[in-house]
Amino acid sequence: MSAGSALADPSWPSPGRWRPAAPLWLLLPALVLLPLLALLPGLSHGGGWSLVGRFALAALRPSLDPLVLASVLRGLGVTVGLALLGWAVSLALGLALGVLSARVVWGGSRSGGGGAWPAELIRKLLALPRSIHELLWGLLLLQLVGLQPAVAVLAIAIPFAALVARVVSDQLDALPTGRLEALRAAGVAAPAALLTALGPPLLPQVLSYGGYRLECALRSATLLGVFGLGGLGTELRLTLQSLAFEELWTGLWALLAAMLLLERLVGWLRRRWTMPARFGLGSDTGSTGTDRANNGGPARGRSSDVGRRGRELLLAAALLLPVLVVVAWALQVDPGSLLRWQPLPPLPPADWAAVAALPWPTLVGNTLVLTLLAAALAVGTAPLLLLLVRPWPWGQGLVQVLWALGRLWPPPLIALLLLLVLRPGVVTGALALGLHNLGVLGRLLLESAEHSGETREQALLGAGCGPRLALLYGRFSGLARPYLAYGAYRADVILRESVVVGLVGATGLGSQLLEALSAFAYDQLAALMLVYAALTLLGEELSDRLRRRLLSS
């Protein structure tokens, strides 16, 4: 045997070469589990385990009472309808704003400058709606116009439109401009040239992202319901708080079915219309490293497919419009109601001394700790779980169900459930957010792992390597960079989302915000929202940099 032990090796190791390799990066975030596991016993308040047991058992025997079923279906219909409307509005608005905020549309260069100042201005203005979570928009609108179905629609549409706009403008500005310049040089008018040169390569990216946003909209609509804005979420919260677990599970299973159906549909359309997978958002790095020339034209479908996709898209859009009208009519969504503001209670004079006296460092610190904990938990646990269950054929199915439940559950509901056994606080909030996002990240990781590195894994298995190591070396090596890049994006989402677990208390800016909202303390609310928005934008910038660094090279 030539393979001596590492320690017997004379050249072991030279200090300059201590550098973790790609697959290890994937496991490093899981180190956060160690302090979490150490903290948990101290956070447990002893009671409630029997309730958790009852809750788990109830999953197997959801209530089939016709009254419960009818109310669940009604609630689900409202949630899906609100999600669909909010999504459609955000997509239309986002596309328009995205085009307007692309530098290339104003004739500017990719790095800015030129005559592209309107693009820069719109971009800056869109930062605010983007940085505030849909829940906050919802609660603010609720105070302004009262409980209207249109509130939930607009609450989803405002931040989503700004997010779509950002993706659209980033994609547009990243496209090669050669084709556009050629058309313009040939005397083609600007709008036609833009549409012809940039439309086709942009379309698959927009469709792919749009599909993802629809999934997000369903989750958001459920979440808004938890805070009383209508739909199934309201019933989920009420049944959980009244410990009617059987009825709760009726709603959960129905929501799960709707969510999986939607995800399947989006995935099917993505494949049919040859859209890029979500994971490789803006990159082609999800592949095994085999070098494919990608000049920014992501759709490489056969030419016969292109015409088909166009026709099918038109048909889908034509079908969607009447559906939206019917849904809006059935849910009594009245856009006009948003203009009829209700009288606000008399506002006390602003007390800026009280605002300044808020424990800002603690609030910001807790928010950041919560975000980092939740992000590391979500990013680190997904690959770890996949590795754990790899040898067992049923294992993957089991984690898939758990992840589906995780992303289905709005984080505040997970938090409420955790409160049955844990004390409120940052860690409990982080666990709730982490588990929810684990469901989102895990699904993406699994989907990408299925499409990457298969032959390398096979080669390792063929050489006698165990299934877990073959997965780690064979598939995870290529996924490390795009997965962590996606994780960086997710951390940014989690920071924005941290407000939604505010209701478990002491979670930083989120809980303070919700408190200020319900106490009509507008001075505090304004200050908190500003700080929150600034923090979110800073986080977005950092996460962008990290992502670019991970995806370059």
Q: Kindly state the smallest distance separating residue 466's Cβ from other proteins, in Å.
A: 6
- Other Cβ atoms less than 10 A from the Cβ of 64: the count is 9
The per-residue b/e assignment along 452-479, b for 16 or more CB within 10 angstroms, e otherwise, is bbeebbeebeeeebebeebbbbbbbbbb
How many whole angstroms separate alpha carbon 102 and alpha carbon 120?
8
Q: Which is nearer to other proteins, 251 or 487 (CB)?
A: 487
One-letter amino acid of 187: G
Q: Kindly state the smallest distance separating residue 23's Cβ from other proteins, in Å.
A: 6
Listed in sequence order, the residues at least 6 apart from 504 whose beta carbon sits closer than 8 Å to its beta carbon are: 412, 415, 416, 418, 419, 424, 425, 428, 429, 432, 511
Asked if 109 touches other proteins (CB under 8 A), the answer is: no
- Which of these ranges, 10-18, 170-178, 246-254, 440-448, lies near other proteins under the rule CB under 8 A? 10-18
Q: Which is nearer to other proteins, 146 or 466 (CB)?
A: 466
Asked if 21 touches other proteins (CB under 8 A), the answer is: yes
How many whole angstroms separate alpha carbon 190 and alpha carbon 516?
49
Q: Given candidates 53, 289, 359, 397, which one binds other proteins under the rule CB under 8 A? A: 289
Q: Which is nearer to other proteins, 24 or 530 (CB)?
A: 24
Are the CB atoms for 83 and 273 separated by under 8 Å?
no
Residue (of 388, 368, 377) closest to 437 by Cα position = 377
Q: Kindly state the smallest distance separating residue 495's Cβ from other proteins, in Å.
A: 29
Q: Kindly state the smallest distance separating residue 398's Cβ from other proteins, in Å.
A: 20
Asked if 210 touches other proteins (CB under 8 A), the answer is: no
Q: Which is nearer to other proteins, 22 or 420 (CB)?
A: 22
Q: Kindly state the smallest distance separating residue 15's Cβ from other proteins, in Å.
A: 10
Listed in sequence order, the residues at least 6 apart from 75 whose beta carbon sits closer than 8 Å to its beta carbon are: 225, 231, 232, 233, 234, 235, 251
Listed in sequence order, the residues at least 6 apart from 513 whose beta carbon sits closer than 8 Å to its beta carbon are: 136, 499, 502, 525, 528, 529, 532
How many whole angstroms separate alpha carbon 232 and alpha carbon 150?
16
Q: Which is nearer to other proteins, 111 or 455 (CB)?
A: 455
Asked if 6 touches other proteins (CB under 8 A), the answer is: yes
Q: Which is nearer to other proteins, 14 or 50 (CB)?
A: 14
Site mask for other proteins (CB under 8 A), range 497-526, x = bound: ------------------------------
Asked if 2 touches other proteins (CB under 8 A), the answer is: yes
Q: Exposed, middle or buried: residue 372 (CB in 10 Å: 0-12, 13-18, 19+)?
A: middle
- Number of shown-chain residues binding other proteins (CB under 8 A): 43
Q: Which is nearer to other proteins, 62 or 478 (CB)?
A: 478
Asked if 480 touches other proteins (CB under 8 A), the answer is: yes
Asked if 359 touches other proteins (CB under 8 A), the answer is: no
Residue 44, SS3 per DSSP = strand
How many whole angstroms separate alpha carbon 504 and alpha carbon 487?
25
Footprint on residues 447-476 left by other proteins (CB under 8 A): 455-456, 458-466, 468-470, 472-474
Q: Which is nearer to other proteins, 21 or 60 (CB)?
A: 21
How many whole angstroms separate alpha carbon 363 and alpha carbon 378?
22
Are the CB atoms for 418 and 45 separated by under 8 Å?
no
Q: Kindly state the smallest distance separating residue 29's Cβ from other proteins, in Å.
A: 15
Q: Kindly state the smallest distance separating residue 24's Cβ from other proteins, in Å.
A: 4
Q: Given candidates 9, 181, 450, 541, which one binds other proteins under the rule CB under 8 A? A: 9
Asked if 13 touches other proteins (CB under 8 A), the answer is: yes
If you compute the radius of gyration of the chain from its CA atoms, what whole number of angstroms results? Answer: 25
Residue (of 421, 416, 470) closest to 226 by Cα position = 416
Q: Which is nearer to other proteins, 5 or 111 (CB)?
A: 5
Are the CB atoms for 404 and 260 separated by under 8 Å?
yes
- Provide the phi-psi class of 163: left if phi over 0, else alpha when psi is between -120 and 50, else beta: alpha
Asked if 22 touches other proteins (CB under 8 A), the answer is: yes
Q: Which is nearer to other proteins, 10 or 349 (CB)?
A: 10
Q: Exposed, middle or buried: residue 14 (CB in 10 Å: 0-12, 13-18, 19+)?
A: exposed
Phi, psi of 49 (to 5 degrees): -65, -35
How many whole angstroms separate alpha carbon 428 and alpha carbon 433?
9
One-letter amino acid of 375: A
Q: Kindly state the smallest distance separating residue 201's Cβ from other proteins, in Å.
A: 27
Residue where the block lists tokens 């995800």: 263
Instruction: Return the ∠ at Cα 230 (arms to 233 and 74), rounded to 5°.
Output: 80
Q: Which is nearer to other proteins, 286 or 410 (CB)?
A: 286
Q: Kindly state the smallest distance separating residue 16's Cβ from other proteins, in Å.
A: 9
Q: Which is nearer to other proteins, 28 or 358 (CB)?
A: 28
Q: Given candidates 205, 366, 367, 477, which one binds other proteins under the rule CB under 8 A? A: 477
Q: Which is nearer to other proteins, 241 or 458 (CB)?
A: 458
- Which of these ranges, 15-23, 69-77, 84-92, 108-116, lies near other proteins under the rule CB under 8 A? 15-23
- Which of these ranges, 6-14, 173-181, 311-319, 532-540, lies near other proteins under the rule CB under 8 A? 6-14
Q: Given candidates 288, 294, 337, 400, which one binds other proteins under the rule CB under 8 A? A: 288
Q: Which is nearer to other proteins, 66 or 462 (CB)?
A: 462
Residue where the block lists tokens 């924005």: 496
Q: Kindly state the smallest distance separating residue 294's Cβ from other proteins, in Å.
A: 16
Six-digit token string for 499: 């407000």
Q: Where do contacts with other proteins occur on this chain (CB under 8 A)?
A: 1-4, 6, 9-14, 17-24, 288-290, 455-456, 458-466, 468-470, 472-474, 477-478, 480-481
